[in-house]
With several copies, the nearest count.
Chain A
Amino acid sequence: MTREVLIAGFGGQGVLAMGRTLTEAGLKEGYNVTWVPSYGPEMRGGTANCSVVISTEPIGSPVVAQPTELIAMNGPSLARFEPLVDAGGLVLVNSSQVENPACRADVRCYLVPCMEEAGKLGNFKVANMIMLGAYIQATNALKLDTLKEMLATVFTGPKAHLVALNIKALEVGASYVKEG
């Protein structure tokens, strides 16, 4: 099993953090994992993206050129990267940020209104967690519980109250896919 995930969006949408959380969770479940960010001035105010590979085999190339799965957090990212996705692959779209979202016919596609849902949870920052929940649900790549456990170790001390919120966000995202 090799999943090659590309996660892309505006700088500030938590795209890199989403990738890191996913990678860390993959490691926890015993997979080989790699994470590579896009870096440099192209990040500045513009877009950000990262490649995550989760595999049962040793990982050769950590760069995802032809994603099996794309998470597009905004319109430009969808436009730029959707054409690269493997036929039969998966595309997750943050539909709050894309006008008239539409996907290729030969890929599995989910629209997740991350901002709206995050707004409902009272914190726009968890938009990426919502998306991550959706991703897990849509792929079964990892267990949702693994992520939940991780959250408990990430948010400690004065930030402990964020655990529940983030778990909630994961679940909202997941449910979105189940239902969608």
Chain B
Amino acid sequence: MSTQVVYQRSRGLQDVETHYCPGCHHGVIHKLIAEVLVEMDLLDSAVGVSPVGCAVLAGNYFNCDFVEAAHGRAPAVATGIKRVKPEMLVFTYQGDGDLASIGAAEIVHAAMRGERFTTIFINNAIYGMTGGQMAPTTLVGQKSTTTQAGRDPLQHGQPIRMAEMLSTLDGMAYCERVCVADMGNLHRAKRAIKKAFTLQQQGVGHTFVEFLSTCPTNWGMSPVDAGKWVLSDMAKVYPLGVVKDVPKEEKA
């Protein structure tokens, strides 16, 4: 009898429990990144930059080096790292509060400069870690602890589409929006990460993968319903797919 492993825990992750809530997509996305790091043989030469947000402890979960950044500043920290260690594979992992709110200037400028690291952007339309306040990405009408009657465009504006906004910058080389709400999307998401890392190694500019993710706890939904809501509601405001692909456009 021979045994084939269809799937087992990735070597790219440490053998510890995560603190994430049941069914939170943070955990799923972690796995995909870890799998790509293993497949590309990058565990020894990669360094991740974790945010302030639910993923603040990512450095305890991944099996590669990590640096924890101040809230919103991961792109600056990654810039510091990549500039002095261009041979390393550098990626940030940031939530929507972290990247799109307090850290808006840092990501805009990293993208403008075409910093050669990869941003993994977890858009779950809420501040998870701090208990469910409105994020800049919160949908119109969506309830949060600071928009208890739902986000009102007149008061709070409309959701910010970071992938589209950042793609106006010439330094952005590759930008795709994905999710892990079903198996097809999950596979696409993994390919996007791999592509971003590969392009990073080719030094083409900034690479950016936005994940539509879930926060079952603060959305007040079951994990499965949360996944459905990503596809039914979030993806309408934040269309899935490639937003920008300069290397491809150049080839074409």
Are A and B in contact, CB atoms below 8 Å, in the complex? yes
Which residues of A pack against B, CB within 8 Å?
41-42, 44-46
Extra A-B contacts (13), CB below 8 Å, given A45-B19, A45-B20:
A41-B19, A41-B54, A41-B129, A42-B19, A44-B19, A44-B20, A44-B21, A44-B54, A44-B217, A45-B21, A45-B22, A45-B217, A46-B19
Q: What chain B residues lie within 8 Å of A42 (beta carbons)?
A: 19
Q: What chain A residues lie within 8 Å of B22 (beta carbons)?
A: 45
Docked complex Cα distance between A41 and B58 (Å): 14
Query: Could you tell me the distance in whole angstroms from the C-beta of B212 to the nearest C-beta in chain A?
Result: 21
Q: What chain B residues lie within 8 Å of A46 (beta carbons)?
A: 19
- Smallest CB gap from A39: residue in B: B131
Q: Report, as a range, how many residues of chain B touch the other chain.
A: under 10
Docked complex Cα distance between A42 and B19 (Å): 8
Those of B6-34 within 8 Å (CB) of chain A: 19-22
Docked complex Cα distance between A45 and B19 (Å): 7
Docked complex Cα distance between A42 and B21 (Å): 11
Identify whether the interface residues of A are mostly helix, strand, loop, or mixed.
loop
Docked complex Cα distance between A17 and B37 (Å): 44
Query: Could you tell me the distance in whole angstroms from the C-beta of B122 to the nearest C-beta in chain A?
Result: 16
Q: What chain A residues lie within 8 Å of B19 (beta carbons)?
A: 41-42, 44-46
- Smallest CB gap from B57: residue in A: A41
Docked complex Cα distance between A41 and B129 (Å): 7
Q: What chain B residues lie within 8 Å of A45 (beta carbons)?
A: 19-22, 217
In order of increasing CB-CB distance, the 4 nearest A-B pairs are: A45-B21, A44-B21, A44-B19, A41-B19
Query: Could you tell me the distance in whole angstroms from the C-beta of A83 to the nearest C-beta in chain B?
Result: 24
Query: Could you tell me the distance in whole angstroms from the C-beta of B71 to the nearest C-beta in chain A?
Result: 14
A-B contact pairs, 8 of them (CB 8 A): A41-B19, A41-B54, A41-B129, A42-B19, A44-B20, A44-B217, A45-B19, A45-B217
Interface centre among B21, B22, B129 (most CB of A within 10 A): B21
Those of B120-143 within 8 Å (CB) of chain A: 129
Docked complex Cα distance between A54 and B50 (Å): 42
Docked complex Cα distance between A44 and B217 (Å): 9
Docked complex Cα distance between A46 and B217 (Å): 12
Docked complex Cα distance between A46 and B19 (Å): 8
Query: Could you tell me the distance in whole angstroms from the C-beta of B217 to the nearest C-beta in chain A?
Result: 7
Docked complex Cα distance between A45 and B54 (Å): 12
Q: What chain A residues lie within 8 Å of B217 (beta carbons)?
A: 44-45
Docked complex Cα distance between A56 and B206 (Å): 58
Query: Could you tell me the distance in whole angstroms from the C-beta of A67 to the nearest C-beta in chain B?
Result: 26
Query: Could you tell me the distance in whole angstroms from the C-beta of A174 to the nearest C-beta in chain B?
Result: 33
**B164-197 CB contact bits vs A (8 Å, 1 = yes)?**
0000000000000000000000000000000000
Query: Could you tell me the distance in whole angstroms from the C-beta of B209 to the nearest C-beta in chain A?
Result: 25
Docked complex Cα distance between A46 and B17 (Å): 11
Docked complex Cα distance between A45 and B217 (Å): 9
Docked complex Cα distance between A42 and B54 (Å): 11
Query: Could you tell me the distance in whole angstroms from the C-beta of A74 to the nearest C-beta in chain B?
Result: 16
Interface centre among A41, A42, A46 (most CB of B within 10 A): A41
Q: What chain A residues lie within 8 Å of B20 (beta carbons)?
A: 44-45
- Smallest CB gap from B22: residue in A: A45
- Smallest CB gap from A43: residue in B: B131
Query: Could you tell me the distance in whole angstroms from the C-beta of B83 to the nearest C-beta in chain A?
Result: 30
- Smallest CB gap from A41: residue in B: B19
Docked complex Cα distance between A153 and B222 (Å): 31
Query: Could you tell me the distance in whole angstroms from the C-beta of B130 to the nearest C-beta in chain A?
Result: 9
Query: Could you tell me the distance in whole angstroms from the C-beta of B98 to the nearest C-beta in chain A?
Result: 15
Docked complex Cα distance between A41 and B19 (Å): 8
